[in-house]
Amino acid sequence: MKKVLFTLLMMNVILHPIQAQEKEYVILVHGGAGVMSALQEHPEQRDMYYAALDSALQIGERQMQLTGKGVDVVLAVINYFESNPLFNSGIGATVSAAGQFELDASIMEGKDLSAGSVAGVKHIKHPINAAYAVKKMTPHVMLSGDGADQFAAENGLETVKDNLYFATPKTMKWVEKFKEESKKNGTVGCVVLDKEGNLTAGTSTGGMLGKKYGRIGDAPIIGAGTYADNSGCAVSCTGHGEYFIRHSVASNLNFRVKFLKQPIEEAAQEIIFKELNSEEGNGGLIAVDKEGNYTMPFNSGGMFRGVLYREKNTGYLTEEVGIFKETKKMIDEKSNLVGAFTHQRPVTKEDLKIFNDATKGYKEKLVPLSVGTQVVAGINYLFICKKENGTKVSLKIFKPLKGKPRIIE
Ligand code: ASP
């Protein structure tokens, strides 16, 4: 009898391999791929990127709590990246050889394969919002150049008169003295498996530094830089766009997962390391399937990337970020590692004031032990606190520029 039970159990294990914990939702972000040799020598700069990736994931997490919809998460995350000069999208975008900022973005929802994109736009503050508007408000998938700028203005999206709005002190130097060798990486992307089981993908970029006027990369091309299909996966790519277009990287991965039933990680590895290689088409991608399996391979020196997911049964949250091969755990509620922020420090008087304001009338008594701030966004505080019974918990406080701080548990 025991033997029969054991055999049945083993058959079950073989037929249904013990899956990693089921996930309620998964959020992946990337902030571009490239050589990044300067960052190898500057840990303080790496910290800035870790903090920015963490902010992006926390913004995604907050949005997931608010609406539970992947499309809202992708928009919130990419809006954040487009406002952050560290990345090659929105402000901070790379410059064309003509000294102009020409931006590309796209978004796709896997539940109905609806998609929108804009290419070569020069006056739209948040190209990802324009891509979404194309998807929502037109019968088309892609608008480009002046037409896309006009469409955005006519539909009340934020536009900027001066194309130099997108410049930063760093990119202005390129405008003034264009240098081929100082490549900037930092295209941004986000893919999500949401609470409703839907997949969504979005990508936004300034393109390749020194690109020719009118050049369009893979980012706004559905199937090259972005794809989402509920019966396959959601993908956002970054790297040398011409190669990603030639290899239809995003739809290629979806095809392998959907029709060839290849595990997402194996399929992505084959594309990134065999179809593309670091000489011809360096870069990487982030992708997630409907089971919550995810992958973030890259064949370049590094790729700014991060993942945040919540387990279905336990409710545990995990968050990791990485640039090179390393991964840095930011939150691992399962093993009680919370608040492994890059800027963890003792609580100052000012922090205490924020803490007290936010926790006034809070349901339990907490003593703050240390705090991590997310310097780049400058809005989130993560306090490690002790409960009365001695256990440690983390408490995130969102401090808007105006108004009362809010607690996000
Ligand atoms: N893929 C983008 C492009 O070719 C650039 C990048 O990801 O760095 O436009």
Same domain for 323 and 203, yes or no, is yes
Query: 70-83 and 127-137 helices cross at what angle (nearest 10)?
Result: 150
Same domain for 278 and 325, yes or no, is yes
Same domain for 222 and 108, yes or no, is yes
Q: Are 338 and 331 in contact (CB under 8 A)?
A: yes
pLDDT of 34 strictly over 80: yes
pLDDT at residue 371 in the model: 81
Last residue of a domain, one of 280, 314, 335: 335
Same domain for 353 and 234, yes or no, is no
- 399 band by pLDDT with thresholds 50, 70 and 90: low
Question: 131 in a domain, yes or no?
Answer: no
Contact residues for 359 (Cβ-Cβ < 8 A; gap 6+): 366, 395, 407
CA atoms within 13 A on the CB side of 278: 10
pLDDT of 396 strictly over 90: no
Task: Say which residue the tokens 């545990």 belong to.
Answer: 316
pLDDT of 242 strictly over 50: yes
pLDDT of 402 strictly over 70: no
pLDDT at residue 18 in the model: 41
pLDDT of 328 strictly over 90: no
Quick one: which atom of ligand 1 is closest to the CA of 207?
Answer: 9
238: CA distance to ligand 1 center in Å?
Answer: 5
Q: What is the distance between the alpha carbons of residues 36 and 324, in angstroms, rounded to a whole number?
A: 9
pLDDT at residue 15 in the model: 44
pLDDT of 347 strictly over 90: no
pLDDT digits (tens, 9 = 90+) for 68-98: 999 999 999 999 999 999 999 999 888 888 8
pLDDT digits (tens, 9 = 90+) for 116-173: 999 999 999 999 999 999 999 999 999 999 999 999 999 999 999 999 889 888 777 7
Question: 270 in a domain, yes or no?
Answer: yes
pTM of the model: 0.80
Q: What is the distance between the alpha carbons of residues 253 and 91, in angstroms, rounded to a whole number?
A: 30
Quick one: which atom of ligand 1 is closest to the CA of 283?
Answer: 7
Same domain for 191 and 318, yes or no, is yes
Same domain for 182 and 306, yes or no, is yes
385: CA distance to ligand 1 center in Å?
Answer: 42
Quick one: which atom of ligand 1 is closest to the CA of 184?
Answer: 8
Question: 17 in a domain, yes or no?
Answer: no
Could you report how far apart the first and last alpha carbons of the chain are, in Å? 49
Question: 260 in a domain, yes or no?
Answer: yes
92: CA distance to ligand 1 center in Å?
Answer: 14
Q: Are 34 and 323 in contact (CB under 8 A)?
A: no
- 346 band by pLDDT with thresholds 50, 70 and 90: confident
Q: Are 255 and 232 in contact (CB under 8 A)?
A: yes
More confident residue, 36 or 135: 135
- Active-site residue list: 187
Query: 70-83 and 43-67 helices cross at what angle (nearest 10)?
Result: 150
- 2 band by pLDDT with thresholds 50, 70 and 90: low
Buried b (16+ CB within 10 A) or exposed e, 237-273: bbbbbebbbebbbbbbbbbbbbeeebebeebbebbbe
More confident residue, 181 or 247: 247
Q: Are 68 and 195 in contact (CB under 8 A)?
A: yes
Contact residues for 258 (Cβ-Cβ < 8 A; gap 6+): 229, 231, 232, 233
What does the pLDDT average to over 294-304?
96
Same domain for 353 and 325, yes or no, is no
Same domain for 323 and 366, yes or no, is no
Q: Are 287 and 192 in contact (CB under 8 A)?
A: no
Question: 36 in a domain, yes or no?
Answer: yes
Same domain for 241 and 354, yes or no, is no
User: Which protein residue has the closest C-alpha to ligand 1 atom 9?
Assistant: 207
Same domain for 63 and 195, yes or no, is yes
The pair of structure tokens assigned to 49 is 């990127």
pLDDT of 6 strictly over 60: no
Question: 372 in a domain, yes or no?
Answer: yes
Beta carbons within 10 angstroms of residue 79's beta carbon: 17
Identify the H or E element spanning 345: strand 344-346
81: CA distance to ligand 1 center in Å?
Answer: 15
Q: Strand 302-311 relative to strand 226-228: parallel, antiparallel, unpaired?
A: unpaired
State the burial class of residue 402 (Cβ atoms within 10 Å of its Cβ: 0-12, 13-18, 19+). exposed
pLDDT at residue 3 in the model: 58
What does the pLDDT average to over 300-312?
95
Quick one: which atom of ligand 1 is closest to the CA of 241?
Answer: 4
* φ and ψ of 99, to 5 deg: 75, 25
Kindly write down the DSSP assignment for every residue of 334-400, as one continuous string: GGTB----TTEEE--HHHHHHHHHHHTT-SS-EEEEEEEE-TTT--EEEEEEEETTS-EEEEEEE--
Question: 188 in a domain, yes or no?
Answer: yes
Last residue of a domain, one of 307, 335, 363: 335
Q: What is the distance between the alpha carbons of residues 79 and 166, in angstroms, rounded to a whole number?
A: 14
Task: Say which residue the tokens 């755990």 belong to.
Answer: 329
pLDDT at residue 94 in the model: 87
pLDDT of 340 strictly over 80: no
Q: What is the distance between the alpha carbons of residues 172 and 9, in angstroms, rounded to a whole number?
A: 64
Q: Say how many domains are in the chain.
A: 2
Q: What's the CATH number where 287 sits?
A: 3.60.20.30
Beta partners for residue 285, in sequence order: 237
Question: 246 in a domain, yes or no?
Answer: yes
Same domain for 57 and 195, yes or no, is yes
Last residue of a domain, one of 335, 355, 372: 335
Beta carbons within 10 angstroms of residue 386's beta carbon: 14
Mutate to test the pocket of ligand 1, among 96, 208, 215 (most ligand atoms within 8 A of CB): 208
Between the alpha carbon of residue 118 and those of residues 166, 263, 344, the distances in Å are: 16, 31, 39
CA 385 to chain centre: 28
pLDDT digits (tens, 9 = 90+) for 187-235: 999 999 999 999 999 999 999 888 888 999 999 999 999 999 999 999 9
Q: What is the distance between the alpha carbons of residues 323 and 371, in angstroms, rounded to a whole number?
A: 24
Residue 366 lies in domain:
346-398
Beta partners for residue 116, in sequence order: 107
pLDDT of 339 strictly over 70: no
* φ and ψ of 177, to 5 deg: -135, 90
* Mean per-residue pLDDT of the chain: 86
Same domain for 251 and 374, yes or no, is no
- 336 band by pLDDT with thresholds 50, 70 and 90: low
Mutate to test the pocket of ligand 1, among 102, 182, 187, 222 (most ligand atoms within 8 A of CB): 187
- 313 band by pLDDT with thresholds 50, 70 and 90: confident
pLDDT digits (tens, 9 = 90+) for 47-58: 889 889 999 999
pLDDT of 337 strictly over 60: no
